[in-house]
């Protein structure tokens, strides 16, 4: 009988071979129970006690994680603590108890459900996965109200269990110990979920997004988990097991070799230099950025400052975060993207009307121009922080020259204001535009005259160019980074940038995939910004070829008519050049995909 092979998203690298254990994550079941009016104050008191107990528990988890794997990962739970400590939550839940005359559990669930649904509808993957933070906090408080233990228990596992679950919250994942669990597989989740970050911090191989796999798993059967390639193999035969053990040793050896490249530049054998930088979302990721040899931060997402709060962050809060990053990375550059989500996420603070399609509505630079007070606060903080390191400002979702000029006009006005006030900043700070709309790609030559650099955000650009809703499972398969139309668009944008004498980066997920390395170098990108863990392998690829060889590979790909043809040619090329990293025959019936040792 052939092994069963499932594909998911590899979020924590490594190969594990062990026994399967399917865990049922117990979510509290809540009923609506009427409460006598005289006892309503007691319900509110129960709620407050449960919130405080939850806060203490999270602080204990945070302390343990800080000791075991580092304070930068413990800060993942800062968002959870912010939710618990937010007066809005206790006030709304208390009001629901009083108004409806119901139990605290039901009132809390009623208050949190609209928040969960709002995050579920968000198109942006990073923001959508913040729903799990709300779930995690809500479930913890509910369990404390009900007097229940944690949602998942793994104390009995020792050394050879690969855990399967529908989903795991960050708190669930934090319970796991490296000596008890070999790997994790979930049916839900994505690369930017806090559970994925926790798995990486604990160095537990993990694959997420494997739909309905729990229905196929038999407890205690042997399974192979490949968190590097995003594969799960059930009931492997001896031949597959032997190949997996060999592949594991190969990856461990290759990983040690890649680690030595950290301090070396990403330069082709004929001297063409490509800056390899990191995408980050939280300040606590900087140690990983430096450990993997990043030459700077190519994309610093600032949305975390606005999440899980009823108000807007002030200038000093912005400034403290940006200054710390600038100083930590100096003299390496840090590109900070201005606010890049919609008013639907800031509704409690700015009270905008609901939109039927927020992803195409008042978001990113459009929202900033609509609410210049929000924009100016962030720009003032960014400019002030530029006195402490090499900062660059990048506007998201630019669609035309008028929009770009309007943003620059506000920036120039803020600069003049700071000068009048005698506040120090870098007057030569570089300003860039993200190319993530088809209109921006088409008029890239015009936009290039207004900025110092471009950064291509492939996640949105591909989606808009191919008219694909990435969160619609029925059409998600049409999301193809290697579509010939996308390649032609990228070639045109690079050409437009260089013709106007500005540099160009790519910061979307496409840049994190080593399969695309030769293509992107061959197209002429000056910088590639990616997840920190992808940096060593990308450096290895760039340092192993000449620019001419990469350009030749890219040119040959333009003769392909489909994304499948492009991918096939790239796989052949990369397997021939880097067989140790691009497996082609390790798993029966599966086309090998690259991964990160």
> Per residue in 460-474, pLDDT tens?
899 999 998 766 657
- In the prediction, which pLDDT does 1 show? 58
32-46, 183-197, 330-344, 412-426: the lowest-pLDDT one: 183-197
The residue from 80, 292, 318, 507 that is catalytic is 507
* pLDDT > 90? residue 444: yes
Q: Quick one: DSSP state of residue 509?
A: G
Among 504, 478, 470, 509, which Cα is nearest to 490's?
504
Write down the H helix ranges in 500-595: 517-523, 535-543, 547-557, 563-577
Which CATH number does 37-146 carry?
1.10.274.10
- Asked whether residue 256 carries a pLDDT value surpassing 70, the answer given is yes
- Whether 507 sits among the annotated catalytic residues: the reply is yes
Per-residue pLDDT reduced to its tens digit, 359-370: 778 889 999 999
Which of these, 473, 15, 9, lies nearest to 236 by C-alpha position? 15
Do the beta carbons of residue 372 and residue 410 sit within 8 Å?
A: yes
User: What pLDDT is stored for residue 469 in this prediction?
Assistant: 75
- Whether the predicted pLDDT of 33 surpasses 80: yes
Q: Which letter does DSSP use for residue 314 in this model? A: P
Q: Which of 291-305, 365-379, 573-587 has the highest mean pLDDT?
A: 365-379
pTM, entire model: 0.72
On the question of pLDDT at 372 being above 60, the answer is yes
Whether pLDDT at 587 is above 50: no
Backbone angles phi, psi at 16, to 5 degrees: -130, 140
Handedness of CA 365, 369, 373, 375 (dihedral sign): positive
Tell me the mean pLDDT in the region 554-573: 95
Rounded to whole angstroms, how far apart are CA atoms 426 and 428? 5
- Of 134 and 180, which is predicted with more confidence? 134
Write out pLDDT tens, residues 307-340.
666 678 899 999 999 999 999 999 999 999 999 8
Task: Return the higher-pLDDT residue of 204 and 194.
Answer: 204
The answer to whether residue 171 scores a pLDDT higher than 90 is: no
Nearest residue to 524 (alpha-carbon basis) of 299, 277, 265, 274 = 274
The better pLDDT of the pair 446, 143 is held by 446
CA distance to 95, 436, 482, 512, per residue, from 508 (Å): 43, 9, 13, 7
Average pLDDT over residues 419-426: 98
Looking at residue 470, what is its pLDDT?
66
Pick the catalytic residue from 80, 194, 292, 483.
194
Where exactly are the structural domains of the chain?
4-25+152-237, 37-146, 259-577
Asked if residue 508 has pLDDT above 90, the reply is no
- Measured between alpha carbons, how far is 507 from 527 in angstroms, rounded to an integer? 9
- The band of 591, judged by pLDDT with boundaries at 50, 70 and 90, is very low
Topology alike, domains 4-25+152-237 and 259-577: no
Mean pLDDT (whole number) for 92-108:
95
State the sign of the Cα–Cα–Cα–Cα dihedral 27, 224, 128, 80: positive
d(CA 329, CA 285): 12
What does the DSSP 8-state code read for residue 71? H
Task: Count each helix (H run) and each strand (E run) in the chain, helices first.
Answer: 24, 16
Confidence band (pLDDT; 50, 70, 90) for 417?
A: very high
Residue 467: is it exposed, middle or buried by C-beta count within 10 angstroms (0-12/13-18/19+)? exposed
Decide if domain 259-577 falls under CATH 3.30.300.30: no
Domain 4-25+152-237 has CATH 3.90.1200.10: no
| Angle subtended by helix axes 315-329 and 372-385, to nearest 10 | 30
Told to judge if 214 belongs to the known catalytic residues of this protein, a careful annotator would answer no
């Amino acid at each position: 009988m052939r092994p069963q092979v499932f594909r998911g998203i590899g979020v924590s690298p490594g190969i594990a071979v062990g026994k399967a254990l399917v865990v049922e994550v117990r979510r509290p079941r809540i009923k609506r129970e009427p409460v006598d009016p005289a006892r309503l104050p007691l319900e509110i008191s129960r709620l407050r006690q449960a919130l405080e107990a939850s806060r203490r528990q999270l602080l204990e988890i945070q302390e343990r994680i800080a000791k075991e794997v580092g304070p930068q990962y413990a800060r993942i739970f800062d968002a959870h603590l912010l939710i618990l400590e937010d007066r809005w939550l206790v006030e709304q839940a208390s009001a629901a108890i009083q108004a409806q005359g119901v139990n605290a559990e039901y009132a809390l669930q009623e208050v949190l459900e609209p928040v969960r649904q709002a995050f579920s509808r968000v198109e942006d993957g990073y923001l959508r996965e913040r729903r799990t933070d709300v779930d995690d906090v809500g479930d913890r408080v509910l369990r404390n109200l009900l007097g229940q233990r944690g949602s998942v228990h793994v104390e009995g596992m020792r050394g050879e269990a690969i855990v399967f679950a529908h989903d795991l919250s960050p708190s669930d994942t934090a319970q796991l110990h490296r000596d008890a669990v070999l790997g994790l597989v979930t049916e839900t989740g994505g690369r930017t979920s806090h559970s994925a970050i926790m798995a990486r911090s604990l160095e537990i191989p993990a694959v997420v997004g494997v739909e309905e796999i729990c229905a196929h798993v038999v407890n205690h059967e042997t399974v192979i988990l490949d968190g590097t390639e995003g594969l799960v193999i059930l009931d492997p035969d001896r031949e597959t097991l032997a190949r997996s053990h060999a592949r594991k040793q190969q990856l461990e050896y290759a990983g040690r070799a890649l680690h030595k490249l950290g301090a070396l530049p990403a330069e082709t054998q004929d001297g063409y230099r490509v800056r390899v930088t990191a995408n980050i979302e939280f300040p606590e990721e900087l140690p990983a950025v430096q450990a993997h040899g990043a030459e700077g931060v190519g994309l610093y997402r600032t949305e975390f400052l606005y999440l899980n709060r009823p108000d807007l962050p002030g200038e000093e809060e912005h400034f403290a975060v940006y200054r710390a990053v600038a100083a930590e990375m100096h003299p390496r550059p840090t590109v900070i993207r201005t606010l890049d989500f919609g008013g639907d996420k800031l509704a409690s603070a700015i009270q905008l009307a609901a939109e039927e399609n927020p992803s195409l509505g008042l978001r990113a630079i459009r929202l900033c121009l609509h609410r210049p007070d929000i924009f100016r606060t962030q720009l003032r903080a960014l400019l002030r922080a530029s006195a402490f390191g090499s900062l660059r400002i990048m506007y998201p979702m630019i669609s035309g020259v008028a929009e770009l000029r309007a943003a620059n006009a506000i920036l120039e006005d803020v600069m003049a204001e700071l000068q009048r006030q005698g506040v120090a900043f870098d007057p030569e700070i570089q300003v860039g535009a993200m190319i993530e709309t088809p209109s921006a790609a088409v008029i890239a030559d015009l936009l290039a005259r207004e900025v110092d650099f471009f950064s291509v955000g492939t996640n949105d650009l591909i989606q808009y160019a191919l008219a694909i809703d990435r969160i619609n499972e029925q059409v998600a398969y049409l999301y193809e980074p290697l579509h010939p139309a996308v390649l032609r668009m990228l070639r045109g944008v690079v050409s437009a940038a260089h013709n106007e004498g500005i540099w160009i980066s790519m910061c979307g997920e496409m840049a994190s995939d080593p399969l695309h390395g030769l293509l992107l170098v061959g197209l002429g990108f000056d910088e590639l910004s990616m997840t920190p863990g992808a940096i060593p392998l990308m450096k290895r690829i760039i340092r192993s070829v000449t620019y001419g060889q990469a350009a030749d590979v890219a040119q040959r790909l333009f003769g392909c008519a489909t994304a499948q043809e492009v991918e096939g040619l790239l796989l052949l090329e990369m397997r021939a050049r880097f067989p140790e990293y691009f497996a082609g025959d390790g798993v029966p019936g599966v086309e090998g995909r690259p991964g990160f040792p």
